[in-house]
Each structure stands twice: as C-alpha cells, then as structure tokens.
Chain A
Amino acid sequence: MSEAAGQTVETHTPEELARPTYVLNNHPFGWITDKVSSIVEDKMPRWWNVAFGVSFLTMMMCFVMIGYLFTTGVGVWGLNHPVAWGWAIVNFVFWIGIGHAGTLISAILFLLRQKWRTSINRTAEAMTIFAVICAGIFPGIHVGRMWYAWWLLPIPNANSVWPQFRSPLLWDVFAVSTYFTVSLLFWYMGLIPDLATIRDRLRKNAGKLTTGSAKLINRFKQFMYGLFAMGWTGSNRHWWNYEKAYLLLAGLSTPLVLSVHSIVSFDFAVSQVPGWHTTIFPPYFVAGAVFSGFGMVLTLMIPMRTLFKLEDIITIRHLEYMCKVIIATGSIVGYAYAMEFFIAWYGGNPYELYAFKNRAAGPYWWAYWIMISCNVICPQLFWFKWCRTKVWFIFIISIFINIGMWFERFVIVVVSLHRDFLSSSWGYYSPTQIDILTFIGTFGLFMTLFLLFIRYLPAIAIFEVKAVTPQANPHHELGGAKTKNGPKKKGGGNQ
C-alpha cells in the first residue's frame, strides 16, 4: 500500500476478541472427568429409581400388548380397509425420524467442525440407537405373521424363494438395519477412550476399598469396562488412526442418515396413492426427521442437564444452537407443507388436489392443524432470543415438536389412505386401545434404555469435551504455551 508523503500512518494491532468457551468457568481437565464419571460411579439419585420403575413397567406393558397381538392377530389393531397402515407405520416413521438428530449431531456437525457438538453428541447418539430400536419393533410386528419376519432378509429357505429387491419396503429393511448397525459402531467407537477413563478410575479407587463385596464389584466392573475399552492407553499412535477412522465414520454416516429417511419416504413416494406420490418426499422427510430429533434431544437433555447439574458443560449456548437448528429445519418443513399444497393445485391432478383439501378440511382436519401449529408456528418462536434462552420454555416447545411430528406422520399415513380414488372405498380409521398402549409402551422401552445408559455409561464424551477447551490447545496460554511477545490474550481463547 502506498501512502501519500507527509501523512502520518497510525498502525494498530487489531484487538483479539474473546471467544466464549464451550465449557464455562475454565474448569481443569480433572473436573470434567470427575463430573461426568461421578454420574456413573455414584449412587443414582432417588428420581432415577422412580423414573426407571415407571419406564420399566411401561416397557412391560408394551411387551404384553405385543404378546396379545402375537397370540390373537393384527385384528386387535384398528387397521381395516382402506387404512391398512395405521399407527404401527406412523410410530415407525416417528421413531426412526427421532434418531436422525443424533447422527446429524455426531456426523454432520463433526464434518462441519461445529465443536459445540462435543457436549451433546454422546447422549444424542444413544438416543438414536434407542429410537431405532423402538422403530424397528413396528414393521416387525406389522407383518401379520411375525414368525415369518425373517423372510425380509435374504436368507436361503426351503421354498427357494428370495426377497424381491424392486420393492422400497425391502430397501427400507436394509436402510434401517444398516442405520442401526453403523450408529452403534460410531457410538461404541466414541465410547472407547471414555470407557478407559472409567476403567482407570476404578483401578485407582480399588485400593481404597475395604469390604470384600466392594472389592469384588470393583473387580467385576474393571473387567467389564476394561473389556470394552479394548486396552486403550491414549497412545498418540492410536489417536492418529482413531481420529482418521472417526472422520471416515462421520463421512459414511452423513450420506447414510440422508439416505435412511429418503428410503423411508420411498415407502410412500414410490406408490400411486394421492398425497404420497410426490418427489418432494425425500428432502422433506429428512428435514422433518432432523427437526423432530432435535425436539427429542432437547426433551431429554434439558432435564438431564438440570438434574445432574451439567450446566457448565451443556450451556445455554448449546441449547440456543439447537434451537437455531430447529428454526432452520422447522422452516424447511413449513416450506414443504406449503409446496405440497401448491403442487397439488398446480399439478392439475384432481385426486391429488382433493387429497390435500381433505387433509386441511376433511374429517381429520384436527390432526392437520395440530401438525401445522406444532411444526410451523412453534419453531418460529425461536427467532426471539428470550425464547431460545429460557430453559423451561425450550422444554415446552420441544414437547410440542414431538407431538407435531407424530401428527405429521399420522396425516401422511392415515389421512392419505382413508380417502383415495374411489369414494366407494372411503373409510374412517380409529386406533384401538391396543394401538395406543403399544405406542405408549415404546416410550417405556426408550426411557428404560436411556436411563440405563445414563447409569452405566459416560453420558458426555469426556475426551471430546476436554479437547475443545482452551486448556487443551497447546498454543494457548491456558494450555501451557508461553506467550513470548505482546500483551496476554484476553478471554477464553481461540478455539
């Protein structure tokens, strides 16, 4: 740059603005280890026992309902002509959608270098796995003769019959089972260094124990955590391969999660039914899935953070970010609803147009408007900072999102089926008590698994949270770097 002669040039070093840290109050590494491990090591608080008892009984109710279904037949459900896909498929799509937020947080946010994910990814991934388990139950028990459910898999059988791979229902079998397996691998891989942490803490505490039974329990736990920790020593030669494998798994999970709900949407979109036969379904389902999943992440995370006093690790800022994802995906969902209507009119197909008019003003109008108010209006409140930072308010909205997204699937499945081409085959579908209790029961299964997860596994990725603190940065003064020249950096540091 050339300067005019005689002009004095003032030089500034731009002041470095302090970045807020992901973990509040600059706790040392040991604090993070203690805080997260203590949940696993200490006796569970009373609320946990109560919550576990209730969840366990609800889960048992689910199994009783399924047992009744097995012994009696699918007639115990409200399915009939013309609605042959009722609550079971609604619940399947609902639960599988919930899972998608976990993979988005663990894989897509990882690829996008969103370091705030470290505080929430472990819990969100666990949620994914448990939600997929709940989802997997429904198609399995929906097939009529459940003891033939294995025909879905390409297993040689006495009739020399193979599955028919031109059907999207079979694509779904592969998509969901791959999704479950890969989510489990990814989750387990993230757990390995933290299981080693628990193993080492148990070993350190073993000397302090006095009673024989405590020693025996300690040895058993050391064995179990140690077994799954695979002899992890934190070696950098191991981290080197580990981080590469983690990156690759994130890279594989990203196209996977996008494909899973796309393939779920093919179950509908590949058919001819008005209201299903649309090309917008794959992106619209994926956005809806992430939207619903973030609703569930918040529903689980907010009580967990309060009850275990994790406010310094899962901060308001984390909740705010999640609310912002909800605005984004909620707006995509709202746009998709509008676009579906527009295309139904613009496409000039009278059956299509009728299907959409029937959604908004037909006998199931209430379901449609619950969906619109929960999914389109509710998330827009998060444009206001107040709404994004009041924890109880976020919690309430997250519940509405869960409700709204269940109704979205109800609208798509039931309302499209109940009136199609011929008015002679129209009908009205209502669930039976068995339908309702089975669905409620899956929440018991979900919560039982989730509570056990909190009880026995580190619910926050200890090593990942440590790695995003300024103390972990070897070039930051909190990480031990010596600042050679100039004034000291202000604030939490560069992350």
Chain B
Amino acid sequence: MSQPHAILAEYDTPADILAAAVKVREAGYKKWDVHTPFPVHGMDDAMGLGNAQVGWFTFFGGLIGFVSGMLMIWFMNKFDYDIVVGGKPLFSGFAAFPVAYELTILLGAFGSLGGMFIMNRLPRHHHPLLANERFCAVTDDKFFVVIECDDPIYNDQETRVLLKSTGANHIEIVEDAE
C-alpha cells in the first residue's frame, strides 16, 4: 500500500531555492529539507542549521589513534619485548611520535567519514525520493524543496499554496511505496 510521504517542489536556480528555503523555515516547518546538485552557498543559514557536529567524531577518532599508538609502542617495545637496540631508550615519546601521529590522522579520518555517514543516517538505499521520476534531476541541474507529510503543520492545501508562492515550477506528492 502506498501512502503520501512528502510534497516535492522543483526550482530552476539557486537563488529561487534559497528564497524558498527561507520562506519554508519562516512558515515554521520542521520536517523538511532542500535537495540540490551541489551545496548552495548560504543554504545552511537559510535553513537555520547551526554548526555540524561531525567534528566530534574526528576528535575522538584522533584521540583514540594517538593514545592507542603511544600505548601500543610502549607495550611492544618497553613492556612485552624489551630489547635494547643501538643503545636507545626502550620507550621515548620522540621515537614513538611519528607512528602515533599517523594513527591520529588515520583514525581521525575514519571518524570524519564515519561521522558523516552516521549523522546523515546513510547508507539508505530505499528512500522514497529515489523512486521518484522527477527527482532524478537533483544530481543534475534541478533544485527541490521537500516537506514531509508528517510534519506537525503540514496541510495538503496550505503547504501547496506556500510552495506555489515561492515560485516552484512543479509541485507533486511523493508516494512512499510500502
């Protein structure tokens, strides 16, 4: 059984979509989004998004990388297999630094990419929008505003009127095929 998932409005230019986003936000919608072929400059502010939180994943990834790198080297060269090589100290932060540094970056990078996927709830391969014929153009040259039907202030008539007033050149309902 299919049921309406969201209302979709299509625009031609970044200026139109930016203006539309401001209007939709001011109207008080919560469960809505803008879909664009590339990140539109100023859209984050227009949608009222703050600072993205991906940085925490990077930070903790890097922290884990550095600490585990140092601990690993201490364990392997000072604790578990302590053999003197060239009269050098068994453990020294200087000699251990390059490897710990690389591991900081390695796990920080995994944290960034993984954090991006987690924050975006991706991968999601069966999104109702991906089944929409018209929505194909989102990765080419069209811009879309999508307001979900279960938004608290969504109303079939009023939402359509609002989107029409923002200059959308096409409006349709996206079905969620269950």
Chain A residues within 8 Å of B, Cβ to Cβ: 28-30, 33, 154, 160-168, 170-171, 174-175, 178, 181-182, 185-186, 188-189, 193, 196-197, 199-201, 203-204, 226-227, 230-245, 248-249, 252-253, 255-256, 259, 263, 266, 463-464, 466-467, 471-475, 479-482
**Inter-chain contact B18/A166, CB cutoff 8 Å:** no
Query: Which of the residues A166, A242, A463 comes within 8 Å of B95, measured between beta carbons?
Result: A166
B173: CB under 8 A from chain A? no
Q: How far is the CA of A343 from the CA of B105 in the complex (A)?
A: 34
A9: min CB distance to chain B, Å? 36
Query: Which of the residues B13, B35, B51, B110 comes within 8 Å of A234, measured between beta carbons?
Result: B35
Q: How far is the CA of A479 from the CA of B19 in the complex (A)?
A: 12
Q: Which residue of B lies closest to A259 (CB)?
A: B101
**Inter-chain contact B49/A240, CB cutoff 8 Å:** yes
**Inter-chain contact A182/B106, CB cutoff 8 Å:** yes
Contact status of A240 and B140, CB under 8 A, knowing A165-B76, A234-B35: no
Q: How far is the CA of A199 from the CA of B135 in the complex (A)?
A: 12
Residue numbers in A under 8 Å from B77 (CB-CB): 162, 164-166
Q: A233-B129, A235-B35, A237-B47 are in contact. List 12 more A-B contacts (CB 8 A).
A: A166-B95, A204-B136, A231-B123, A235-B120, A239-B43, A242-B120, A245-B52, A256-B105, A463-B38, A466-B37, A467-B39, A479-B15
**Inter-chain contact B136/A203, CB cutoff 8 Å:** yes
Q: How far is the CA of A231 from the CA of B125 in the complex (A)?
A: 4
**Inter-chain contact A189/B116, CB cutoff 8 Å:** yes
B44: CB under 8 A from chain A? yes
Contact with A along B57-100 (1 / 0, CB 8 A): 01000100000000011001100110101101000100110110
A-facing residues in B98-114 (Cβ within 8 Å) = 98-99, 101-103, 105-106, 108-110, 112-113
How many residues on B have C-beta within 8 angstroms of the other chain's C-beta atoms? 74
Q: How far is the CA of A244 from the CA of B14 in the complex (A)?
A: 21
Contact status of A236 and B43, CB under 8 A, knowing A181-B106, A245-B113: yes
Query: Which of the residues B14, B33, B42 comes within 8 Å of A237, measured between beta carbons?
Result: B33
Q: How far is the CA of A106 from the CA of B19 in the complex (A)?
A: 32
**Inter-chain contact B138/A178, CB cutoff 8 Å:** no
**Inter-chain contact A243/B106, CB cutoff 8 Å:** no
Q: How far is the CA of A163 from the CA of B95 in the complex (A)?
A: 13
Q: Which 8 residue pairs of A and B lie closest in terms of their CB atoms, listed nearest first?
A: A480-B13, A480-B15, A29-B141, A245-B116, A162-B76, A244-B52, A230-B123, A467-B38
**Inter-chain contact B72/A239, CB cutoff 8 Å:** no
B18: min CB distance to chain A, Å? 4
B119: CB under 8 A from chain A? yes
Q: How far is the CA of A473 from the CA of B105 in the complex (A)?
A: 34
Q: How far is the CA of A248 from the CA of B165 in the complex (A)?
A: 38
Residue numbers in A under 8 Å from B14 (CB-CB): 471-474, 479-480
Residue numbers in B under 8 Å from A233 (CB-CB): 35, 127, 129-130, 135, 138
**Inter-chain contact A242/B113, CB cutoff 8 Å:** no
Q: How far is the CA of A241 from the CA of B109 in the complex (A)?
A: 14
Q: Which residue of B lies closest to A481 (CB)?
A: B15
B171: CB under 8 A from chain A? no
Contact with A along B116-153 (1 / 0, CB 8 A): 11011011111101100001111111000000000000
**Inter-chain contact A236/B41, CB cutoff 8 Å:** no
A207: min CB distance to chain B, Å? 9
B40: CB under 8 A from chain A? yes
**Inter-chain contact A175/B120, CB cutoff 8 Å:** no
B74: min CB distance to chain A, Å? 9
A170: min CB distance to chain B, Å? 7
B4: CB under 8 A from chain A? no
Residue numbers in B under 8 Å from A162 (CB-CB): 76-77, 80-81
**Inter-chain contact B39/A185, CB cutoff 8 Å:** no
**Inter-chain contact B95/A259, CB cutoff 8 Å:** no
Max chain B C-beta neighbours (<10 A), residue from A163, A204, A234, A466: A234
A-B contact pairs, 13 of them (CB 8 A): A166-B77, A171-B99, A175-B98, A189-B113, A193-B139, A236-B44, A237-B120, A239-B39, A240-B44, A248-B112, A256-B105, A474-B15, A480-B15
Residue numbers in A under 8 Å from B44 (CB-CB): 236, 240
Residue numbers in A under 8 Å from B86 (CB-CB): 166
B13: min CB distance to chain A, Å? 3
Q: How far is the CA of A11 from the CA of B101 in the complex (A)?
A: 57
B16: CB under 8 A from chain A? yes
Residue numbers in B under 8 Å from A243 (CB-CB): 39, 52
Query: Which of the residues A234, A239, A248, A259 comes within 8 Å of B58, measured between beta carbons?
Result: A248
**Inter-chain contact B33/A236, CB cutoff 8 Å:** yes
**Inter-chain contact B139/A164, CB cutoff 8 Å:** no
Residue numbers in A under 8 Å from B137 (CB-CB): 200
B170: min CB distance to chain A, Å? 16
Q: How far is the CA of A197 from the CA of B92 in the complex (A)?
A: 50
**Inter-chain contact A472/B38, CB cutoff 8 Å:** yes
Max chain B C-beta neighbours (<10 A), residue from A252, A253, A259: A252
